[in-house]
Structure 1
Amino acid sequence: MDSRTVALIRTTFKAVAAEEGGSEKLARSFYAILFTDYPQVRDFFPAAMDAQRDRLVKAIAYALDRLEEPNKLLPFLAQLGRDHRKYGVQAEHYLAVATSLKTAVQIFAGTEMWTDEVDQAWDEGLKIIADTMIGAAEKETTPPVWTGTVIERREVLRNLTIVRLQLDQPMQYSVGQYVSVQIPSRPRMWRYLSPAVPADTDGEIEFHVRGVLGGWVSSAIVGQTAVGDQWLLGSPLGGLGVPRNLKRKMLMIGCGTGLAPLRAQLMAMAQRRVNPKVHLFVGGHNPCDLYDLETLNDLAVANRWLTVTPVTEHDENPWWYTEPDGPQPLRPGLEPRVTGQIGKVVASFGAWADRDVQIAGSPSMVQTTKFRLMAAGIPAKNIRHDPLF
């Protein structure tokens, strides 16, 4: 795709999205057109569409920002294509989505902006996206969906639960990746979770889940999950991970359950003979949010290449947290806990320009931390995180 085509697509999309309420209006229009013209696809989507509409616009923006970076965009689209098999999506459904999206953008762009050249540009861009996803799905030999049975549920905090599942067959994923999950009480509401352990040949997998205020799925997992429940899991996604040939030192920053993909990577690295030095900053609002320090301590004690610095925004725990009885364990593998906003703390530790950087956590935390690190001199190309949607 040439630069002119890319520019035309970006310009029209951003012109529509930049208007007041433009993103939401575009998403609503797209789904209205899609469900009216192709009513058979409605069953692929949840009854409540608010979160789905928001993710749509963010996903489109993410793809459009990478149209000139095929080495990044095409693997991402291929992963999405493999993942979309869980819905039972066929090639004709991609055509329905592409046609509806182009129609919605055209309506909001208006006749003056929507020229024949713009129309052709959108056709070309949407064809590349659809063909890449369809091609990856057709070539994939792994299952479209895995079934996992809950074998353990452990409440760590009142709003944080660790869930272990036994899959019907092992799933091969790279440490640092994430998967979509669907729980019994929330049909068609797929949510992304990162395995907190490396892939297991026996098919066990572990997730760390924090209940989000107003979150339909996360709150249900934390409050209702029981041993014996059966979850559905989609194909692995994401580009985090430690390349085998990585020689540059690593900086890892994780907040809350964003620790999970970083933890899985550290566990996998601990099985290797040689690793680069890694400095992990693990953060939370309160000390109790640092829920997995024992595991991190054990990893740091056993692996001299790993340094772990805990960070909290506050020194005190919330009123509802009950301190464990008895003396607290000594953790000689950890650095002293630091108080402050994690991005600011990490930036204050010195220059990290020589590091491969990974950030995992809430979208706001990732963005804030990334901006602080870039302001401190770290090149954007050295910073990796999952898509923020």
Structure 2
Amino acid sequence: MRVFESAGTEAGDGLTRDCLDPLVISRLRASFSSIVSTEHGHHRLTTTFYATLFAEHPEFRSLFPAALDQQSHRLFQALQFVIDNLEDVDRVLGFLGQLGRDHRKYGVEGRHYFASGHALLVAVQSSFTQAIWTPSLTAAWTELLDLLLNTMADAADNDDLPAAWGATVVDHERRLDDLAIVRLETDSPIPYGAGQYLSVQIPQRPRMWRYLSAAIPANPYGQLEFHVRRVSGGWVSPAIVNETQVGDRWLLSSPLGGLEVDRESGQDVLMIGSGTGIAPLRAQVMEMAMRSNNPRVHMFVGGKYPCDLYDIETLWHLSLSNPWLTVVPVSEEDEDPWWHTTPAPEAPPGLHQRLQGQLGRVVARFGSWADRQIQISGSPAMIKTTVYALQGGGTPPELIRHDPLI
């Protein structure tokens, strides 16, 4: 079941899909760009928003985690995604609807969104000097924030799925020193689409939700698999890799994300994944393998060292039994670091040998891929450099899809 869908033909009080005209979009983009380019603009906007919100509604503070750094980052990235995709209103409404459903895990309801509009407008306006802020900017941002908040409120108040699902850890496999594969069984199946990600909370870090991509398609038994790499200095990923045990109880929130293969377009597919970013791509090709007719898929799988291609054998097996799938392994370094002593697996006869180089540049060397649906998944830095390399090689930007970098 694909959960990335529009929030209805209308969003709120008469705000339709095509409500933002090109002039309004231009004003919004220019003003947001000036915030991004200003030193500490990101920090000023989010800090002002939360300070204003909690001053106006002190009771809202209990809905948020004690530390707001992750929350602030996600707020800014969500605004960035909306601003970047204003011409694709269906995509924006789908994204906002997902966020509205996801935020129910905090106890957020529609009324909380309606009460937040003034704080958001104050935060945006505070990023400009009084001389630069104009009535036309006030009108443009008021229109956008009405669309944003009404869509999220409507999604939060009209979803009949649970706000969160319980799940039990049934397996914890340490694939690398800093990478674990965690398998769970949920109390009831979660209706997510292959390619989506979910917000998870673990018992070792209560009230700290993190996004993880499902590495297998949904199934009627509620089985889930996540691939998690330890982030240096992080709070949640080290606990998942180092401390998670069989029997632990996790909470999972509503699915998010829009990565999916459009089977009706007739276009073949290019997938590019690095590290644990292969998870949503892996889930999609596994789901496709259950069907008899599929477009061709070229999947480039990258990492710094050969050992970072930790699941390449699974992908090779999928490729051997599904001739529409071509897997191309890529590593920046030709040899593993000295502390990794397990030999890298050899590609089966007839399959693509490992290439060396920076992932985006390697993919771009094959051409513009202008006839493909393109998905990219990995770290924010990897996605940005890969998009840059593809566009430099002539790839039309409208063909490239990746989820918001939150």
Paired amino acid for 1:101? L
Q: Which moved more, 1:208-217 or 1:28-37?
A: 28-37
List 4+ stretches of structure 1 deviating above 6 A.
none
Structure 1 5/329 Cα, relative in aligned 2: closer, same or farther at 3 Å? closer
1:324-366 CA-to-partner distances (Å, cap 9, x unmatched) read 6xx9566236311111111111111234211111111111111
Query: What corresponds to 2:356 in structure 1?
Result: 339
Query: For the Cα contact (< 8 Å) 2:270–2:372, is it kept in 1?
Result: yes
Q: Please report the TM-score for the alignment, with normalisation by the length of structure 1.
A: 0.95
Structure 1 338/17 Cα, relative in aligned 2: closer, same or farther at 3 Å? closer
Distance between the aligned counterparts of 1:361 and 1:15, measured in 2? Answer: 27
SS of the residue aligned with 1:299?
A: helix
Query: What corresponds to 2:311 in structure 1?
Result: 292
Query: What corresponds to 2:398 in structure 1?
Result: 381
Query: What corresponds to 1:76 in structure 2?
Result: 95
Distance between the aligned counterparts of 1:277 and 1:354, measured in 2? Answer: 11
SS of the residue aligned with 2:131?
A: helix
Paired amino acid for 1:355? R
Query: For the Cα contact (< 8 Å) 1:313–1:340, is it kept in 2?
Result: yes
Distance between the aligned counterparts of 2:75 and 2:399, measured in 1? Answer: 27
Structure 1 228/118 Cα, relative in aligned 2: closer, same or farther at 3 Å? same
Distance between the aligned counterparts of 1:239 and 1:375, measured in 2? Answer: 25
SS of the residue aligned with 1:112?
A: coil
Q: Does 1:196 align with 2:226?
A: no
Query: What corresponds to 2:381 in structure 1?
Result: 364
Query: What corresponds to 1:349 in structure 2?
Result: 366
Query: What corresponds to 1:205 in structure 2?
Result: 224
Query: What corresponds to 1:141 in structure 2?
Result: 160
Query: For the Cα contact (< 8 Å) 1:150–1:230, is it kept in 2?
Result: yes
Q: CA deviation at 1:323?
A: 1.4
Q: CA deviation at 1:203?
A: 0.4
- 1:7-18 matches, cutoff 5 A: 7-18=26-37
Q: Does 1:104 align with 2:123?
A: yes
Query: For the Cα contact (< 8 Å) 1:297–1:332, is it kept in 2?
Result: no
CA RMSD, Structure 1 to Structure 2 (Å): 1.8
Distance between the aligned counterparts of 1:344 and 1:100, measured in 2? Answer: 43
Structure 1 29/313 Cα, relative in aligned 2: closer, same or farther at 3 Å? same
Q: Does 1:3 align with 2:51?
A: no
Q: Does 1:281 align with 2:300?
A: yes
Unaligned runs of 5+ in 1: none
Q: Comparing both structures, which one devotes a greater share of its residues to helix? A: 1
Q: CA deviation at 1:310?
A: 0.7
- 1:253-264 matches, cutoff 5 A: 253-264=272-283
Determine which of 222, 229, 245 is the counterpart of 2:248: 229
Paired amino acid for 2:115? A
Q: Percent identity?
A: 52
1:290-323 CA-to-partner distances (Å, cap 9, x unmatched) read 1112211111110111111110011121232231
Query: For the Cα contact (< 8 Å) 2:305–2:334, is it kept in 1?
Result: yes
Paired amino acid for 1:193? L
Query: What corresponds to 2:14 in structure 1?
Result: none
Q: CA deviation at 1:212?
A: 1.0
Query: For the Cα contact (< 8 Å) 1:12–1:113, is it kept in 2?
Result: no
Unaligned runs of 5+ in 2: 1-19
Q: Please report the TM-score for the alignment, with normalisation by the length of structure 2.
A: 0.91
Q: Which moved more, 1:44-53 or 1:4-13?
A: 4-13
Distance between the aligned counterparts of 2:36 and 2:260, measured in 1? Answer: 33
1:222-264 CA-to-partner distances (Å, cap 9, x unmatched) read 1111111111111111111122324211111110001111111
Q: CA deviation at 1:113?
A: 2.8
Distance between the aligned counterparts of 1:190 and 1:214, measured in 2? Answer: 16
Q: Which moved more, 1:34-43 or 1:340-349?
A: 34-43
Paired amino acid for 2:229? R
Structure 1 316/216 Cα, relative in aligned 2: closer, same or farther at 3 Å? same
SS of the residue aligned with 1:126?
A: helix
Q: CA deviation at 1:377?
A: 1.5
Distance between the aligned counterparts of 1:293 and 1:116, measured in 2? Answer: 56
1:157-188 CA-to-partner distances (Å, cap 9, x unmatched) read 01000001110110111111111111112222
SS of the residue aligned with 1:176?
A: coil
Query: What corresponds to 1:36 in structure 2?
Result: 55
